[in-house]
Amino acid sequence: MTKSEAIFERACKVIPGGVNSPVRAFGSIGGTPRMICSADGTHMTDEDGNTYLDFVGSWGPMILGHNHPAVKEAVIKACEDGLSFGAATKREVEMAELICSSIPNVDMVRMVNSGTEAVMSAIRTARGYTGRDKIVKFMGCYHGHSDALLVQAGSGVMTAGIPDSAGVPKGCTQDTLSAVYNDASSVEKLFETFPEEIAAVIVEPVGANMGVVPPAPGFLESLRSLCTKYGAVLIFDEVITGFRLGFTGAQGYFGVDADLVTYGKIIGAGMPVGAYGGKREIMSCVAPVGPVYQAGTLSGNPVAMAAGLAQLTILKDHPEIYQELNEKGDWFYGEVKRLLEKTELPAQATSCGSLGCIFFTNTPVVNYETAKTSDTSLYASYFKHMLENHIYLAPAQFEAMFLSAAHTREELVGVLDVMRGFFLKDN
């Protein structure tokens, strides 16, 4: 038995499924999770001393690579001043100023502790602002695990085979309407049915929790104009795309304005951080200035802010990081696509900048229905092949591959070789 296996056995006795988030489980691909004890740059090391080239990047936060020296230094420095005060601090203001001065349509921002919390609070704010109850989400988009949003919610839920979570009362989801990703007419129909009841449309501007499903040309623009027409709030859930597609996230990348934006992952550089922000008029509804209550004992935590600020400052001061990262993504996923043209397996690659995914299906993937045509057992074989070659991918089909600024072309050429060994083995 490996050390990872032994620790996992202990874990299963005291933690449901042995993991603190279902996406870490190896349930859908078989085997036991590797217990990671450290990471640096592009590599993670497990308890048995195996190292892996990592493409999960803590599910996105590690856009500069693991254990970035500037982030680490900022965290250590902040720790020396105390871990939490439960009172206002300057770092929170610096964080808010950094975000509001550079992100379009974000005039004010509130820090929270996770993406889930950010989205939950943004929805509440949109409802408070509009005085309406209904929200529209897209099938296959994940917006955290709050009750109202656990409807057709993408990867973690898909892989576990739970269509909707148990324990969510019907009352909590009765105002959640589901639309089809990349199909604006499905949203238009909902608006026609409920013209004055929809508070918000929430979307992952790039679907990244049903595998990677980029928005079709015009899709996000249509959502923008529908929300404007019907007086609903357009929420971009940028928990993955924020500070990844570019510093200004999907709003900047696609040139579409949102009313509220949610952040997580990269914004905390690996610390538990989320944020929601948007137009002043809407954010002014939030307590203590407005009637929408939202609070957090550890929100804006000084250590977390230090980590996030350090990473965001580097990203903001070096726009070339995004240019290089997106070029690297286009090149790498382009090579993957070329490789998959030659395979006899049903497989296609999708990508947007540094986010990419291989779907094991020949059906063109444009939404949740088509993503679900993937052969997950083939993904399991592929995952195992990559892991045996010390390449760590998400242990589930419906997740993204995250490239970081730290990945080198040499490393990626090596990955392509290993992929070739899987996809072209019979040729």
- Where do contacts with ligand PLP occur on this chain (CB under 6 A)? 114-116, 119, 142-144, 204, 209, 237, 239-240, 264, 274
Least separation, in Å, of the C-beta of 235 and ligand PLP?
Answer: 11
Whole-angstrom CA distances from 37 to 46, 265, 369, 413 are 5, 20, 37, 27
Complex with ligand PLP: residue 142 or 219, whichever CB lies closer: 142
Residue nearest to ligand PLP (CB): 115
Pick the closer one to ligand PLP by CB: 106 or 239: 239
Could you tell me the strand order of the sheet in which 260-263 lies? 108-112, 274-278, 260-263, 233-237, 198-203, 134-138, 176-179
Two tokens, residue 59 = 């599910």
* Catalytic residue list contains 417: no
Do residues 380 and 386 lie in contact, with contact meaning Cβ atoms separated by under 8 Å? no
User: Which member of 129, 137, 181, 265 is catalytic?
Assistant: 265
For residue 142, indicate whether it is catalytic: yes
Q: Which is nearer to ligand PLP, 57 or 144 (CB)?
A: 144
Quote the least distance from Cβ 405 to ligand PLP, whole Å: 19
To the query of whether residue 189 is one of the catalytic residues in this protein, the response is: no
How far apart CA 103 and CA 106 sit, in angstroms, is 6
Helix intervals (H) in 161-294: 170-173, 184-193, 219-230, 249-254, 280-283
Question: What token pair was written down for 397?
Answer: 């089909």
Closest-CA residue to 123 (of 347, 282, 355): 282
Residue type, 415: V
In the bound complex, what is the minimum distance in angstroms from residue 114's beta carbon to ligand PLP? Answer: 4
Determine which one of 54, 175, 237, 259 is catalytic.
Answer: 237
Q: Which is nearer to ligand PLP, 209 or 404 (CB)?
A: 209
Residue 119 or 286 having the CB closest to ligand PLP: 119
Identity of residue 128: G
Minimum distance from residue 172 beta carbon to ligand PLP (Å): 17
Query: What's the min distance (Å) between Cβ of 143 and ligand PLP?
Result: 5
Select from 228, 301, 252 the least CA-distant residue to 99: 252
Instruction: Just list the catalytic residues.
Output: 142, 237, 265
